[in-house]
Amino acid sequence: MASLNRVQLIGNLGRDPELRHTNQGDPVTTLSVATTERWKDRESGELKEATEWHRVVVFGRAAEACAACLVVGAQIFAEGSLHTRRWTDRDEIERFSTEIRAGEVKFLGTARRAEFPAAAAEAAPEQEGGVESPAEPATPRRTRKAVASVEAGVDVPF
């Protein structure tokens, strides 16, 4: 029997991204993402809402881009799979945490950091044409190859 472990979220960051590195030096960013469901109560007619919090973990160059560009309140699309980690804490109590390991993160909306390092633009291959700074005019998007060439000092026509 086939199975599928796939999660797609659109939500807002509840705090700034947390960037850390593995023992091997690989970047890992943790995002705290809120999704809110709204509905009208059938009995009272009152509008209700419920917010769920999700731990989203991003690896590699995308992790660096998230840490460099996103801020609390930013809206993102994340797609990945659910994973549960188990460990024993200092008090010998078994703990667990369920998280979404994102294979793709897209930045939605405009809540981003003012500074926008060129490396972050190249580090987000999941966005078609890389990531654009909100300060840039609405011009045709640069490709990852073009961004890398510009960083190397090569004159590339866009």
Q: What is the CATH number of the domain that holds 101?
A: 2.40.50.140
According to the model, what pLDDT value does residue 109 have?
A: 79
What is the number of structural domains in the chain? 1
For residue 55, being part of any structural domain is answered with: yes
For residue 124, being part of any structural domain is answered with: no
Q: Which two tokens stand for residue 77?
A: 């699309």
Q: How much is the CA Rg of the chain, to the nearest whole Å?
A: 19
For residue 98, being part of any structural domain is answered with: yes
Strands in 23-115 per DSSP E: 27-40, 47-59, 75-88, 94-108
- 84 near 98, Cβ under 8 Å? yes
For residue 128, being part of any structural domain is answered with: no
For residue 134, being part of any structural domain is answered with: no
According to the model, what pLDDT value does residue 17 have?
A: 96
The residue range of the domain holding 66 is 7-40+47-113
According to the model, what pLDDT value does residue 110 have?
A: 73
Smallest CA-to-CA distance from 98 within 10, 3, 7 is with 7
Q: Which two tokens stand for residue 65?
A: 């881009």
According to the model, what pLDDT value does residue 111 have?
A: 67
According to the model, what pLDDT value does residue 130 have?
A: 36
According to the model, what pLDDT value does residue 67 have?
A: 94
For residue 105, being part of any structural domain is answered with: yes
List per-block mean pLDDT (blocks of 10 residues) for the chain, which spans 158 residues.
94 96 96 96 94 96 94 95 94 94 91 54 41 39 38 39
